[in-house]
Structure 1
């Protein structure tokens, strides 16, 4: 390729884009107000083990995504705890968050958040938000992905994607808790639309792939074969257990019997599901299950992040 071809290619691409785009409204601040508006933020983290200690080796960020200083409440050779910070506190139309975390061989990392994540109502043009999370764990590594709950306001529109890539005998335990609307304020989730994508792969082979559209106007949202009109749902996953089916039976005995949750073992992935109307009940279920599962998966007792109690 010649230097002239390199220099003219961006101009040609821009010309084609300009020909297909329609005039858009632009505010005095220079922000767009069409479906191409994007306010990006990204965070890239890397963790490596050395002499029995897991350290944050890499940290790169752009936009309003930060981390607090790593700390070790379980001792220097225990898990490296890290809080992910998003100062705006939520996503609005046009926001695009990209989170990547890499856990090296023999490293043990626990990632959580200091508060709930809020998905605000879309603007008058219905511009969506996007959140992409990619987690990679090397052979012998362990990652705990334990964010606090996500609250979707009525009218929110967006897409959430979580992709977990495991190598060798890497282990991972995580959860996602989603609350739809704000029933306490008499503001149920009756408009808008969310789409969730979950993927777990080991050595490139899919273990769990799931796509979930949440449209409050669709009959699935009210049907007994779907959401059944419930406003809170949660999923916990655990990968790397030595005896998954026995763990399922044991977990059913340890947790309080309720009709709003179930646990299964498929393709070497333990999945615990909650479907109900109480954020508090869902959180307590997740935390209790994590407390029971952690010794079996990590070989150490659960150490509750201090931020959960503040």
Structure 2
């Protein structure tokens, strides 16, 4: 009896925005609305932490999610997410996620979100933009898992547009883009694509001292089944990691972060 009205039904869409401003002495401002929340756990050591949460439980067709952080000059912080983000099957328009990070003069930000899991049929557009002032630096991580691997899910439909852009003094100094669509999925085993890897990560450090960390990073590439490539152009160190499964990849990422950072891993992570 509902078939006649189904085409006119309007599905509810999730919208959320969370914004945190932090200075050397702590939080200056916090604003949140809709499904986006920001938590500020008490930490006894390491960087002050900002933990973002999407209370809708994942991203479906037409959802809009925005996280943003502004660090005032001279401040330091770590921003992460409470759990893995999930992009569900979308029959209509893509979900959109934006991350805006502004790092003031002499400030430092670690952006360490947990992984994004793409379900079969997911459609996701995501843009991460970072603005660095003079003397500022950052470490950014992105982990993407293609399908629910523990359930043996195979991806046959996917639309992903994922970009990361870092600017300093208005000039682009790092631009990384990933695009995947249906025709690419049967060819993922090609070495020019993922070589069959279903879990991938990009770790980038943007700072004058970043190239000096390359030998340290290479010394901890110990996880079996994880393929890593690294480069260190002036002012940057960039690593790409591939694995057949998310857990070995996460263990290797944890080793790298422990070696490259003086601070503990986020308390919210399951390590």
- State the TM-score, normalized to the length of structure 2: 0.90
Q: CA deviation at 1:184?
A: 2.5
Structure 2 unaligned regions, length at least 5: 1-5
Is the Cα contact below 8 Å between 1:208 and 1:267 reproduced in 2?
A: no
What is the rounded CA distance, in whole Å, between the counterparts of 1:271 and 1:220 in structure 2? 25
More strand by share: 2
Is the Cα contact below 8 Å between 1:214 and 1:221 reproduced in 2?
A: no
**Is it true that 1:288 corresponds to 2:263 in the alignment?**
no
Is the Cα contact below 8 Å between 2:111 and 2:139 reproduced in 1?
A: yes
1:130 aligned to which of 69, 79, 96: 96
Q: CA deviation at 1:25?
A: 5.2
In structure 2, do the counterparts of structure 1 residues 309 and 40 end up closer, same or farther at CA, with 3 Å as the change threshold? Answer: closer
1:63 aligned to which of 34, 39, 56: 34
Residue 162 of structure 2 corresponds to 196
Q: Which has the higher contact order (CA 8 A, sep 6+)?
A: 2
Report Cα offsets for 1:268-301 as digits up to 9, x if no partner: 121111012121111112111111111xxxxxx3
Is the Cα contact below 8 Å between 2:93 and 2:123 reproduced in 1?
A: yes
Residue 217 of structure 1 corresponds to 183
What is the rounded CA distance, in whole Å, between the counterparts of 1:169 and 1:148 in structure 2? 27
What is the rounded CA distance, in whole Å, between the counterparts of 2:144 and 2:85 in structure 1? 9
Instruction: State the superposition RMSD in angstroms.
Output: 2.1
Helix, strand or coil at the partner of 2:215: helix
Is the Cα contact below 8 Å between 2:36 and 2:66 reproduced in 1?
A: no
What is the rounded CA distance, in whole Å, between the counterparts of 2:245 and 2:13 in structure 1? 33
Residue 74 of structure 2 corresponds to 106
Is the Cα contact below 8 Å between 2:32 and 2:38 reproduced in 1?
A: no
What is the rounded CA distance, in whole Å, between the counterparts of 2:8 and 2:23 in structure 1? 45
Residue 306 of structure 1 corresponds to 267
Helix, strand or coil at the partner of 1:237: strand
Helix, strand or coil at the partner of 1:290: helix
Report Cα offsets for 1:169-196 as digits up to 9, x if no partner: 1011120100001233121122121111
Residue 269 of structure 1 corresponds to 236
Residue 232 of structure 1 corresponds to 199
What is the rounded CA distance, in whole Å, between the counterparts of 2:246 and 2:138 in structure 1? 24
In structure 2, do the counterparts of structure 1 residues 277 and 81 end up closer, same or farther at CA, with 3 Å as the change threshold? Answer: same
More helix by share: 1
Helix, strand or coil at the partner of 1:287: helix
In structure 2, do the counterparts of structure 1 residues 145 and 245 end up closer, same or farther at CA, with 3 Å as the change threshold? Answer: closer
Report Cα offsets for 1:5-60 as digits up to 9, x if no partner: xxxxxxxxxxxxxxxxxxx9543xxx36xxxx8542111110111xxx3x111111
What is the rounded CA distance, in whole Å, between the counterparts of 1:229 and 1:217 in structure 2? 15
Structure 1 unaligned regions, length at least 5: 1-23, 295-300
Bigger radius of gyration: 1
Is the Cα contact below 8 Å between 1:84 and 1:113 reproduced in 2?
A: yes
Q: CA deviation at 1:226?
A: 1.6
Q: CA deviation at 1:168?
A: 0.5
